[in-house]
Structure 1
Amino acid sequence: MQILLKEQTRLIQQLLPMGAKNKPGRSMTPKYITMHNTGNTSKGADARAHASYLSSGASGQKVSWHYTVDDGVIYQHLSDTEQGWHAADGRGPGNSQSIGIEVCMNEGIDQARAEANAAQLVAQLMKKHNIPLSNVTTHQHWYPSKYCPALILPHWDKFVAAVETAYNGGEAQIEVSKGHSVLIEWSKGEEVKDLQSALNRHGYALDVDGTYGPATLAAVKDFQRAHGLDVDGKVGPATWAALEQEPVSQGHSVLVKWSKGEEVKELQSTLNSLGYTLDVDGTYGPATEAAVKDFQGKHGLDVDGKTGPKTWTALAQATAEKDDTLYRVQIGAYKDKSNAEAAKAAVEAAGFEAIIKMDDGEG
């Protein structure tokens, strides 16, 4: 069966050769179709560029997929009946039983058109291989910690509806919102405030001041890492899309270097109760970060300096287990009161409390 696309959309076959090191080299019977976004927002990162990347060996990475789609052309890299490396599930069904489709998200692309082209392609592949709509899925389905396809996930239902329309002979159409600007460190303005508010909804504790400073950068990188995104500190379409998902409440906020506020004071007070000597000033500065890292190292946690759910839990356990028993140490017994007072002064000079207790010899 021939793949039929709209007249203005070309399908170009540029198949990886036999023996290419970035493909498994195993056959398959496709049962699923897996959708991805490329994650590359650079200018010029279109389908042709990704075809060139795969054909040149993918920089030595074991990665390959079947189709790359942009707003004007589709490149095919693998036969539909050949396995790829795109789902991050090893020899699981994501790689061994599914056709992988990457939708571009480069600067300047008509995203709605690209997604409509992808929906049209999916519909044709469903017909060709007798794949049901219920088996059209996402990269995140196979690899839950990976937020992909980042731009399509927020309106996945609309994408599936467009596929169904195309399957039934209609024209696939998808409305895509313009979205936010790409933000980088030291960006300023209302969109930075939107970013900081969104991060706070996900458990961070940032000042909503409109300046993309070190604390905001640290929070963005932590969020990206937790959601399987590229950890580059840039807030582009994929990171915005992940931020717009409903956050999961986890009690305390995630605190990072340069966080500020009452929860930082709570953290500092808790650490001080465990023997640290921090200023309780509400600013997560170098001293607080160093204390957190020390605590994490002593309690078998990842030593990253961030106070997330695991560190908060360990702090609570440590304070609950803290033994409040006091042990009194007697330094000596003196017949001359002046000698006793001198010993008391020496103990106090060393930073300890001391008292003189009279003993009448009957105790």
Structure 2
Amino acid sequence: MNIKFNKKVVAFTAGLTVLSSPLVSFAEEQQSVNNKQSTSLQVQGNTDQPQTTDEQALKSIEASFEEVDGRGGGTVDNKKVDSLQRSEGIHEETGTLTVPNNSNRTKRSLSPISPSTSSTINGVPFTEWIVPAGNDNIRPQNYMSPKYITIHETDNTSVGAGARNHAQYLYNQAVGNTDRAASWHFTVDDKEIYQHLPLNENGWHAGDGDGPGNRESIAIEIAVNSDGNYSKAVDNAKKLVAYLMKETGVPLNNIVKHQKWSGKICPANMINNGQWDVFVNSVEGYYNNLYQPKDDITGGWYEEAIRELNRRGIMIGEGNGVFAPNRAITRAEFAQLISNSLKLPAGDASFKDLNDANSTLRDGIKRTASAGIIQGRGDGYFDPNTPITREESAIIVNKALQYKGIWGPVVNLPFSDKDQIIYKEDVQRLYGLGIVRGKGDNQYDPKGTTTRGETATFILNMLQVIENGSVE
């Protein structure tokens, strides 16, 4: 991708992104990589500074940062970007981008720093509005090689407190004389993404002084303004994080909460509603879909359901392109999937063998059991690692629907082994809703284990009934 300019740029070094570069869409970037040739980006819109139309929203944003100290404790080692011009490949001549020999990136030029340029990231409108240098409390210009991506929420529900007005706020702070140290790289809302700082410069957002939160982390703020759609804003953030992982090489394990650095309960909505793991899983889904790795589900009858649950962050693979759709799923795993699907509130249910479950599944067991959707085996045991049967999975899915106020019709079952089903009514209701089917040869196989592929289909069918009233 070539963008003409005559100003200062930064070369990629070991996968590091640039001082200031419009992020292109997934589709545009993948096409560039596949074709291995330069293309031209037509910048949409103009380069005028964004103008706020909501003075009240700006006042609310300013008020929300009155007590914020993004720098935090500790000393700060100011390694300015300008002092690293030679070693980091910054030069003044023609504006070409030098790609190291060991880089796997295609050669492309970059945009100069400008008040506003526009593009898209995977279909989400994106505006680059890098704040001017001069106020070290907002843009300290310390060189940074990002190793983490830190997720924040704005904690400001005021009408109009979206991405654009946060961009305007940071600009106002940067050109003013504020001694309030608070800045970050991106703000995302339900409509758009704004970039405020270059990716190889730090912001003050983590509250850990000279620690890795501030000095090695790209910061993303998700807007929670009441006139926006929070779920859509979170989805837009997932797309941005997946793109940044590709651009910077930051691994999935280094996508972290603000809480990691300072202990602050942030991003509060995700933490309080048990949605952090769902967020990270969904980022992985977007990332994997971008590169379309070889997998073991393509062409299978379960493919559509698995990909949809993966996209939603409900169900993930086992790594290296392996989903294992034919592996039997355990009681603990099934409980976690129900919890993820229904976004169940925190629970305090306890079982004697809870610690036998994988640590990532224990919270899902507690949430699902506390909601009355799943029960233990008796005598205080849950039996988390035992494969769940097809009859048990039907009981749990039926209780999940009833938890949402949905009662399917009790219909006759066509299966020749229906008399082997102990809890027949649960299967009858799910069959009446179109959620469960037989396994062939006119059998339901109630005592047989439930595979991951079957589970994905059960869960997606359940969600379609909850969301749309019927299985699509």
TM-score w.r.t. length of structure 2: 0.36
TM-score in terms of structure 1 length = 0.46
Higher alpha-carbon Rg? 1
